[in-house]
Chain A
Amino acid sequence: MFNKKSIYLDNAATTSVDKEVVNAMIPYFSEKFGNASSQHLIGQEAKRALEESRDIIAKSIGAKREEIIFTGSGTESNNFVLKGLFFANKNNNKNHIITTKIEHDCILNTCKWLETQGAKVTFLNVDSEGFVNPEDVRKAITPETLIVSVIHGNNEIGTIQDLKEIGKICREKGVYFHTDACQSYTKTYIDVDKQNLDFVTLNAHKIHGPKGVGVLFIRKDIKLIPLLHGGGHESGLRSSTENIPGIVGFAKAVKIAKDSNIKYMERLRDKLIESILKIQNTQLNGPKGEKRLCNNINVCFNNIEGEAIGGFLDSYGISSSTGSACSSHSLQPSHVLKAIGRTHVQINSSLRLSISKLNTKEEIDYVLEILNKIVDKLRKMSPIK
């Protein structure tokens, strides 16, 4: 009955823009199109929308308005914090960065590039469910350590890290603490003071907002060297005429995010996980329960390839993913699944389903029915038993 309908279960890659968000954005394209730097009325109208949006996002994480910088993406925010801080502290004998083996590529590749610029980087191990041990962070800190960067909710396996504990250690040791919260924002609690955060990366398109808008929270008085020099927008930290429609849309997406959506997604998630694990020879990747992102399901279906399951689901109009959407360019096995100790075969056999508030119980039932059939068929086709 859903054959012609599409069921979108790849919300960790991106989400559909909420209609309320689109409606909030529309006036800022042709009517209120001003440049927020202009002194005239049209410009000031844009400026007001910009600052009101900044305020909404700041409040949502317990930050001050002036601590929120708009960027073009989560990737940009992550590049900005690491490069900007590294270059600002180049002459302070602070060249050591601590991160983990389960970060998004934009953190890993920024770190690898910074190594070519003189940085020393420690990539921390995680346990079999993807958790960083805060004590490992403590042990890795040296007098040269500049910053610790840990992804909040993992994009592949949904593990939510204990930011508060890691943040406490960083504060004690006088080391900056950053988290990439693109996947966890509006899906779990973030408070920059209680979690001792100095920098937080957020973006809009994972939370039913538009693509092309990100945020970096920068705790007051911390100096970063900008990536983009120009007209001095965003307190001189990110020159570029502000993307007002995108920023307004981002704020609207934050405003309409509800805690009840989290509960709803958790119920769908747990139904999917429990039912899938009833299929023979399957394993959950990542933790169960409240320490897992409410929208993430990642399962290893032994002896068949995740990509083949995904291809089959696609033929039924169901969108899924193997690992992160970015990895499909490289064909490299997921570094996250590798870090939690999965073998190459298990990694190739894994599939990620990521739900949103828009998925229904009926859709989930249908997906489960199809998934059972597909796994059975592919297992019959496989020479590995």
Chain B
Amino acid sequence: MTEFNAYTKEVLKRFTNPKNFGEIKNPDGVGQVGNPVCGDVMKIYLKVDKKPEKIKNIKFQTFGCVSAIASSDALCELAKGKTIEEAKKITNQAIIDKLEGLPSIKIHCSVLGASGLKKAIEDYEFKIGKISKKSIKDDDK
């Protein structure tokens, strides 16, 4: 929890000036999580280099609050340049740490970020035939 449950400077910096928002044309993987009824929707786009298998580019589109947008931006920065196996290990705590903290009632935004990336990676692995079934439900678009 942050002091007085307020936003950190890092959250505000990323929220007002996110570097990684936008769409990737012909992405290698896409993951959309959340739904507008609950509040936030996050869509993560991946471009993956094949050899070595690394996340070459990652972008987000987010319908959400200050924390959701900042979490999306932090996630993209954490994942960019990582191998797929490294990216799979990115947790919501890593996002919180990158943001130097989140108010306690906004922790779910970082959780959304981490699951958005997992879903995008799964979509990528499904497309290249590495897995035959997606474990994460696709019904919450």
Contacts and interface: CB of A to CB of B under 8 A. Distances in A.
Contacts, number: 58
Interface size, A (range): 10 to 19
A311 interface: yes
B32 interface: yes
Contacts of B105: 331
A346 to B, nearest CB: 10
Contact of B41 (A307, A311, A383): A383
A159 interface: no
A123 interface: no
Interface string B33-52: 00011111111000000000
Given A380-B21, A381-B21, A383-B42, A307 B66 contact: yes
B65 A383 contact: no
B126 interface: no
Contacts of B36: 344-345, 348, 384
Nearest to B15: A311
Contacts of B16: 311-312, 315
A30 interface: no
A305 B37 contact: no
The B interface, classified by DSSP as helix, strand, loop or mixed, is mixed
Contacts of B99: none
A308 B21 contact: no
Contact of B37 (A304, A311, A344): A344
Contacts of A381: 18, 21, 61-62, 69
B61 to A, nearest CB: 4
Interface string A374-385: 000000111110
A188 to B, nearest CB: 33
A380 B62 CA distance: 9
Count class of interface residues, chain B: 20 to 34
B21 A383 contact: no
A304 to B, nearest CB: 7
Nearest to A381: B21
A179 interface: no
A303 interface: yes
Nearest to B106: A331
Nearest to A343: B37
Given A381-B61, A383-B62, A315 B12 contact: yes
Contacts of A345: 36-37
A305 B39 contact: yes
A308 B73 CA distance: 14
A305 B18 contact: no
Interface of B: 7, 12, 15-16, 18, 21-22, 32, 36-43, 61-66, 68-69, 105
Interface of A: 303-305, 307-308, 311-312, 315, 331, 344-345, 348, 380-384
9 contacts: A308-B66, A312-B15, A315-B15, A331-B39, A344-B38, A382-B41, A382-B62, A383-B43, A383-B62
In order of increasing CB-CB distance, the 8 nearest A-B pairs are: A311-B66, A383-B61, A307-B65, A383-B43, A345-B36, A382-B63, A344-B37, A381-B21
